Amino acid sequence: MQVNKLLLGPEEEMDFLPIIPLNEGGQEDGQELVVPDTIPILPLRNTVLFPGVVIPITVGRDKSIKAVQDAYKGDKLIGVVAQKDSNTEDPGIADLVQIGTVAKIVKLIKMPDGGTTIIIQGKVRFKINSIIEEDPYFKAAITILKDEQAPTDEDFNAYIANIKELAAQIIQLSPNIPAEAGIILRNIENPVFLIHFVSSNLNTEIIEKQRLLEIDPIRQRADLLMQLLQKELQFAELKNKVTAKTRTELDKQQREYFLQQQLKSIKEELGGDSNVQEIREMQRKAEQKSWPESAKLAFQKGVEKLERMHPSTPDYSVVYNHLDLMLDLPWETYTTDHYDLKKALVTLDKDHYGMKRIKERILEHLAVLKLKGDMKSPILCFVGPPGIGKTSLGKSIANALGRKYIRHSLGGLHDESEVRGHRKTYIGAMPGRILQSIRKVQSSNPVMILDEIDKIGNDFRGDPSSALLEVLDPEQNSSFYDNYLELEYDLSKVLFIATANNLQGIQPALRDRLEIIDLSGYAVEEKVEIAKRHLIPKQKELHGLKSTPIRFTDKMIERIIQDYTRESGVRELDRQIASIMRYEARELVLKEKIKSSLGPAVLEKILGKARYSNDLYKTATIPGVAVGLAWTYVGGDILFIEANSCEGKGELKLTGNLGNVMKESASTALTYLQVNAKKYKINPSLFTQQNIHIHVPEGAVPKDGPSAGITMMTAIASVLTGKKVKSHLAMTGEITLRGQVLPVGGIKEKVLAAKRSGIKEIILCALNEKDVQEIEPAFIKGVRFHYVKSMGQVLELALV
């Protein structure tokens, strides 16, 4: 029953409180109701109006408001019909049922929120013959369906009495229905109105209510109503039973909770403890734990201490958290390594292109593990420029070995306790990052990446790199001591991999413990393969273009690399490809189609004009200009060395933000040429009558190191002899006063930088030949190498 429903929303979502009219029939003042042949139609969504019943409705639809207003101005009669589907927002002719109730608008109220509420009383049923108007609202030609007079026989009276009794029982069983509803029912005398009133408030589907409205004669309507009331009564009884059962269970739970709280209070008053369950659970876990004897003894002592402590004491949580850490650590729990070398190589090749040396080192480690079954893990350190995949390679190694993966970023770390942990007596004390990570992955042999180890802080606040000495020493890390744990923990099975951009940033003692593996920058050919295999598929997926036919040719990728990037890694290349994908995504959304390949003009439109040009480095049009090769932490680069002379007293001037070593190289070069002036056909008087000025462009960038020695000497010799330096030529090497050429480092990066810049010939020290041989021949195709031992050979090759 729905006697207590309140008015909530517009006519399509309305609930109501029926109002009992003074006259239970449909007439007013004893006069017969006159209904016109055509009448405005008001569709309702969630209810069926029965004759005699008065309900309030909030009207929300524009059509409905117009129909109500027009009807209220006229004879105040309107046809109310139900919708077939209550979810239809804007019903059409087909959405309306054919039989409804003519209603009289008793009152029209304008609400403060701008809505309209009407109070209507059902008068008589009608049938829609046809809809004659749809705009501005439905208007229909109708036929009135008059109800027969209620039968007076005993059988029908029994029906009516039974309906009253069932409705009263439902009201009694429903706590939400007020008791006054029963009084209303008992005072209804008209049997037809009683049937309509109960039908209107029946808690059943709209379709069932519509059946009640449509069915004839009145005796059949009463019979159907009784069936529906029986069903609702059974539901109300079942609901009442479930509610009573649930209330009993809740009462029982509340009683138990109350008693537990009383028991807890009594124990606390008596000085007892309430931690028995916690300690028992810990002991149960400890029995199933596989751990060293020392850890077992320490745990037993901790538990005994915990049993003597009251939970409210401050030290209780300290001891409890310490024991909890001991239980959570995977003391002798290891993941099983994958010993399939071929499969491991496939995994490594799938994730990273090239990097043969590192892959061979991992396969060697796997092979030893397979043969011996156990060995201390190596401490590897990948050194190379940014963006070449050092960190991601660590994850790939973990996948290949079948181990858990942990990554720690050490950049800016300045607190030693981040590594070793705090003493557990401090407030907020925690174990160090190493043990926290092992606790998290639940394995004592993960692959642990120590990222940016060369950028660890070292100041008055602490020196974490010294704390790492124990962690990264294969002879010591089997008994790593964490200040919080206060026990030794075996880290010898952990495969530590450190990454760095510059070895100079790592303190010597720590560097000595690392197995250094140099990672050089990528050649153009390698970058093309990386772009095709990894970067382009990744960016297509990230930008929702996975299924679109965008093709990148090798020439196009090469152009992006040479004109828009200057790096050893591929991060900037990845960003440029992402820019292209964003452009393609926009084109696809706007034009619904995209070209499968991009031409140079479109590429320039997306990425702008070329940022870098190789023409600058290919030729030296005047004497005194030589091209050197430099190494930076982001890879190799090309360096101009410019020399010029003017009248003076033989002074040497150096500009370009040069370091001490580079300044000394310039002085050495000048002294060597002064001593050997006649040999190289230089007028000795120039050294006393001319000032020499050496400048290295890009003055904002600090430069240092001995590798520009032969380049400086070539530039000075060129300006003093008036001979130009050969075009397409670059050089690198250290010089001595005796005219020897010494080897320098970073050869691969320097050579690849020269190749990127269009250099055709490179002069190197003879001892650097071995470094060139390590470079893939395909990457340096078209570059000619000259290996020299003395400065005489350099000048002979360089000066035209």
Helix (H) or strand (E) holding 124: strand 116-133
Q: Which of 304, 430, 757 is nearest to 565 (CA)?
A: 757
CB 136 within 8 A of CB 63: yes
DSSP designation for 106: E
Cα 71–75–77 angle (5° rounding)? 60
Q: How far apart are CA 120 and CA 122, in angstroms?
A: 7
DSSP annotation string for 493-535 = TSEEEEEES-GGGS-HHHHHTSEEEE-PPPPHHHHHHHIIIII
Using CA atoms, how far residue 113 sits from 65, 223, 315, 478, in Å, is 14, 44, 62, 76
Q: How far apart are CA 422 and CA 442, in angstroms?
A: 21
Q: How far apart are CA 200 and CA 50, in angstroms?
A: 6
Which of the residues 64, 750, 755, 757 is marked catalytic?
Answer: 750
Q: Output the CA torsion 744→745→746→750 (10° steps).
A: 0
| Phi, psi torsion values for 728, nearest 5 degrees | 60, 25
Chain centre to alpha carbon of residue 578: 18
Instruction: For the chain, report the end-to-end CA distance as a whole number of angstroms.
Output: 109
Helix (H) or strand (E) holding 596: none
Helix 293-308 and helix 276-287: axis angle, to 10°?
A: 170
Placement of tokens 């077992």 in the chain: 296
With a CB cutoff of 8 Å and minimum separation 6, the contacts of 606 are 579, 580, 583, 598
Q: How far apart are CA 607 and CA 144, in angstroms?
A: 77
For residue 688, give both structure tokens: 């006393």
DSSP annotation string for 532-574 = IIIIHHHHHHHTT-TTS--B--HHHHHHHHHHH---SSSHHHH
Which of the residues 396, 707, 718, 757 is marked catalytic?
Answer: 707
Using CA atoms, how far residue 1 sits from 591, 727, 776, in Å, is 59, 100, 87
Secondary structure class of 628 (helix, strand, coil): strand
With a CB cutoff of 8 Å and minimum separation 6, the contacts of 269 are none
| Phi, psi torsion values for 101, nearest 5 degrees | -130, 130
Q: Which of 457, 438, 456, 458 is nearest to 448 (CA)?
A: 438
What percentage of the chain's residues is helix, strand, coil (to nearest 5)?
45, 20, 35
Strands (E), 400-472: 405-409, 447-451
CB 711 within 8 A of CB 705: no
Partners of residue 117 on adjacent β-strands:
58, 109
CB 490 within 8 A of CB 370: no
Q: How far apart are CA 463 and CA 457, in angstroms?
A: 7
Strand duo 54-59 + 447-451: pairing = unpaired
Q: Which of 77, 1, 3 is nearest to 40 (CA)?
A: 77
**Residue 707 is a catalytic residue:** yes
Cα 572–573–575 angle (5° rounding)? 65
Total residue count of the chain as it appears in this document: 800
Q: How far apart are CA 230 and CA 681, in angstroms?
A: 124
**Residue 750 is a catalytic residue:** yes
The residues carrying an active-site annotation are 707, 750
